[in-house]
A and B are shown apart, each in its own frame.
Chain A
Amino acid sequence: MLMLFLKEIRHRWMIHLLVIFLMAFIISILVIQSSLNSSAEEKIKELSHDLGKGMLVVPKETDLESFYAMQYGPHVMPDDYGDRIKASPLSKHAGKVDPRLYGNITVRGTDLIMVGLTMRSQRYGSSDYDSMTIGSGAARNLGLKVNDTLDINGNSFRISRVIDPPPKGYDMALFVPLKAAQSVLGKPGKINSLRMGGCWCKLDIPAFAANVENTLPGTMAITVDGLAKAQIEINAIMKQYSTILWIVGTIIVISSIIFLILYMIKKGEREIGLLLSIGLPPGKIIVKNIVISIVSAVAGVLLGHILSVPLMSWFGKASMRIALVPSWQYLPHFVFASTIIALVASSLPSWFVTRLDPTKLLREE
């Protein structure tokens, strides 16, 4: 029985795969639709904490998901971009302009984050080229304390301060002057982030962000307000289409399963007939069809969830410039629903066909 089951799947692998992919695509859209709100809200909450009412300007090609995860890529922009903003009409809205160069480095086997900044804040220590402020985790791992010296890539730094507790996520950070970071990271004259702040209460922030991008070619400007606005727009669209999306999606999923079963029965009519004619009990044929349908349906649901990860990330970046992560909380619901649909859709036609005389299926009349 198992041999027949496996060999039949192998014989018709293409149609099974086609149905699984069709279902997976639809399921991934449903997953994205159902988890979009919560994921976007979560991400915006995180960014609100990080950006406040400010703006983050980064090179256009930056992978934001990696950026937020503190994995910095090769993309950079000129370090005079801060000055260009100050020299532009936009400067009246940009009270604070903070160019930074972030990079990942390894020192004595410890993975660290280097942050090059203009050192206006006392929090990050002195603006001397060879002065370094470090997070408490980095100090502990490297065994450093104030006034110790740390050599990186031929640059020698004196520890001027250990920040304890450090800002969230900067436990393993080394704060150095921008020029020093550019030298250590091999990116002279470059930055990969520009933070801006000001009183923007009466400002159309998305329009302001667009002006910033025009003034600084090859950049993207991210604001919480912009993200929130994009989310509201997307939510409105999703709300408008969610019912129809669910109905169409559900119909396609159900149709895919029914199509698979009917195709299996139609293509395998003769085989069902001859299996019946050589004595395979009708019950076993029904069970075989049910199992194949459920396996295909569940495989489609799982693949759909996996597919929703890159799709949602792409969708989030395209629409809100943030990488969104789909919620898997609906997985059990999808699995349960698809199992029930597969069960009903496969058992009825299979039952019907096994009630027929085998010769009807063998077309031996």
Chain B
Amino acid sequence: MRIKMKRDLSALVACIALYLLVMVLMETEVIGSYWQLNIVLICINIILAVSLNLITGFTGQFSIGHAGFMAVGAYMSAVFTVKLGMSFGAGILAGAGAAAILGFAIGLPTLRLQGDYLAIATLGLGEIIRITILNIPYVGGASGLMGIPRYTNFTWAFFAMIITVFFIKNFINSSHGRACISIRENEIAAEAMGVDTTKYKVIAFTIGAAFAGVAGGLFSHYFYIAHPASFTFMKSFDILTMVVLGGLGSISGSITAAILLTFISAALASYPEWRMVIYSLMLIILMIYRPQGLFGNKEIGLKIFSRILGGGQHGAAQNK
């Protein structure tokens, strides 16, 4: 057991090393402002993908309304900082809290549904959230909430990401996490083993929603604006793509896929019409040759990275 703690510590050290490295590269302007933006986006996308993986990959509840929770976080945190003049930290926490409460309230009735029914319900739900926001003049309605200060920087995004990854990794490697996984594996058997399946589905949904809220808060405070058009179901699909690409039930897979897809869309930014074509081609090829995703439900650890690279600055891909 103590090995776990040691691994956690070495992963943390690697993370800090990675942070310092990127920080130095940013300060010395080796990484320009365009890639800085993408690195922050990567961190936000990792938070989104890992939190959705908890719901869809580990607990097996197919959800395509993740952008809705992100929107709630984005708006709530912006309301806290812009309208109420609170600090950024309080804003992020408020965004996470609001998304969690909503996730709980919505999860309780909808998680009785299974498979495609749940997918449709969550799809509708994401749209309901977006359209509700669109019709609230207090937060700017269709033109969005403007004038949000840029509080998010690499440090915030990076450490929020690390907290998310550690939180979800530790949750999954506990008895509570095993209860969630057992629901994915066989709901009837899980129930017969004394697992309160409704409770754990709702817990997973709430935690996932909360971290989507954090990501939303970081997002709106990076781009100066919270706009309903950023949180359409296309955004939900983007996140789902990352999770499926990386492997349902693999945190390191989600991280890798988030990095990969963010880079690809950044590289394709000058050909926006080709972006979705390449995206879908990639998915089709992956589904044919590797239906379980890049990593399946396996985790890639620091060990493998250090073996491959003989050192390993790749702290972002640590795991259990």
- Does A pair with B? no
